[in-house]
Amino acid sequence: MRLLLVEDAEELAEATQRRLARSGMACDLAATVEEARDFLAVQAYDAVILDINLPDGSGTDLLREMRAQAAMMPVLMLTAQFSVDDKISAFQLGADDYLVKPFDHRELEARLHAIGRRQATDRSADLELGHLRYNATAGSASVGDQALKLTGREFALLGILMRNAGQVMSKDRLHEGLYAFDDAVPGDNAIELYIARLRKKLTGSGVEIETLRGRGYRLAARDGDV
């Protein structure tokens, strides 16, 4: 999941970025409306976490711009003040959710997964293929009754493949979903290494990660194992 956090409180922003990274989410940080515009101009995001009060303007104005430009990615609004009028205004402008600061990072993660599901065709919390089950909200994946032990990056990679099961995902698209702009640039074979680890852990799941040379990877059920 690739996120943009627009928040000028540096300690909060960096703590949130670290927490999301541990959950396998790539998160870019913008401290102003103008910085957010720059990020949005060059990168597509799965969701935007948008503070209302920013040094150079209002997050609601940026939200209005995004919706006017037909940018329909989910937006979760943040604010330090609880106001019913603010909430109604944000929802009328196209916000998907609203969270009051200070907040528990676990609630933020749950809300992000929830609005992500609402954007998906399959709105079930569980994604299933073969004997493999994946639940982003619970942070769990299992083969039958056996829970899989996955790192944050492995879990995020599996989520991308599960949400796009049957589709070819290029290495660039997988890289984009796993790493933020500020992350240390991994080696060229980083995606291959994560794919190799996942393949081992998916043994007995009835699914396989296919390699399509020059195109990317595809998660598919094995014939006879669906």
Question: Mean pLDDT for the chain?
Answer: 86
Q: What is the pLDDT of residue 69?
A: 85
pLDDT of residue 117: 67
Q: What is the pLDDT of residues 7-23, one digit of tens each?
A: 999 999 999 999 998 88
Tell me what percent of the residues of the chain surpass a pLDDT of 70. 89
Q: pLDDT by residue (tens digit) across 20-32?
A: 988 888 899 999 9
Distance separating alpha carbons of residues 39 and 49, to the nearest angstrom: 13
For the sheet containing 26-30, what is the strand order?
26-30, 2-6, 47-51, 75-79, 97-100
pLDDT at 181: 72
Do the Cβ atoms of 57 and 64 come closer than 8 Å?
A: no
As a whole number, mean pLDDT of residues 41-52 equals 91
Our measurement of the distance from residue 150's CA atom to the centroid of its chain's CA atoms, rounded to an integer in Å, reads 17
- Concatenate the DSSP letters of all residues of 91-118 into one string: HHHT-SEEEESS--HHHHHHHHHHHHHH
Domains of the chain as residue ranges with CATH = 2-119 (3.40.50.2300), 126-221 (1.10.10.10)
Whole-model pTM: value is 0.65
> What is the pLDDT averaged over residues 193-211?
93
Q: How far apart are CA 29 and CA 23, in angstroms?
A: 16
